[in-house]
Each structure stands twice: as structure tokens, then as C-alpha cells.
Structure 1
């Protein structure tokens, strides 16, 4: 199960508000606050799983203790697909958005 610190760190890495995480996950914002503070006694394992799935979908990779060398549980951003965009010679008034 993911830890409260991992959830807080994931939100910070994604610059995600509690309200936005609530919208994305379908979990009440107050319950997310309680989980993050370690007082989510009413949270079910399904709530934790939904938060994890939502954060993974948004670009977080959760690491178990010792998974990436010595240390405790953690997380990292998933590498984004590199998109070069348009080359300068392709820019013109027709594609100026």
C-alpha cells in the first residue's frame, strides 16, 4: 500500500491540487486529506488502490522499499514521450495557434 508521504510527494511532483486529485480519482477531497495526514481511518484498501492507479495514470511510478537501491519506499516521474514539436522551417501563419 502506498504511504501518505508518497501521495503528498506525488501530488507535489505533478503540481496537483487535492481537488484535482479528487476529480481524477473519484475520492472525496476530505478523505484524501485524511489519508495524506495518516488519519484516513475510513479509507478502504480500494481507496488507496484508486489513488495509486490515478497517480500512476498521471505519470508517477511508485517504488517499494529497496527497489531502486538502498532506502525506503519512494517514487519517480515516468519518462514522458519525447515530442519534438514542429521544426522552425515548418512554422507558418496557417499553423499559428
Structure 2
């Protein structure tokens, strides 16, 4: 499950605004703001899934261990660059 912090961190790595991510994930801006809120607002699981998929498609990998959570931005390999 994607957390508020992971979503915000992933956006920062990609240089995306909330508007950009909402558009790419095909969710409303309000839904994304609820997901990224630290206030414990309820969010549909489908919203979390769409946001996660959009971020993964852009190269984000979600990390989670018993010590914490995070995100990683994978760089395109040189062999696949034009």
C-alpha cells in the first residue's frame, strides 16, 4: 500500500506537481490530496492503486522494511536510451 509520504517523495523525485500526478493516475486532484494528507483521511483503495501504477510507470520503486519505507527512482539504462 502506498503511503502519503511515499507519494509525496516520489513526486519530488520526478519533479511532478500534484496536478501532474493526478492527471497521469487519472484520479481527481481532491482524491490525490486526500491520499497525500497526514490527517488519516479515508482514500479508496482504487485511488491508491492508480497512483502507485502511475508512479511505477515513471520509474518509481516502492520500498518497505520493518525499519521504514521509502521510494527509489530507477534511471533508464543507457542501452534503452535513444
| 1:57 corresponds to | 57
| 1:45 corresponds to | 45
Structure 1 residue 30: Cα displacement: 1.4
- In the aligned structure 2, how far is the partner of 1:58 from the partner of 1:79? 10
| 1:27 corresponds to | 27
Residues paired across the two proteins, number: 79
| 1:80 corresponds to | 76
Larger Rg: 1
1:33-75 superposed Cα distances (whole Å, 9 cap, x missing partner):
121013441x211110111011000110001225xxxx31111
Moved over 2 A (4+): none
TM-score (norm 2): 0.86
Structure with the larger strand share: 2
- Greater RCO (Cα-Cα under 8 Å, separation 6 or more): 2
Gaps of 5+ in 2: none
Q: CA RMSD in A?
A: 1.5
Gaps of 5+ in 1: 86-97
Is the Cα contact below 8 Å between 1:5 and 1:36 reproduced in 2?
yes
- In the aligned structure 1, how far is the partner of 2:28 from the partner of 2:72? 25
Superposed counterparts of 1:11-26, under 5 Å: 11-26=11-26
TM-score (norm 1): 0.73
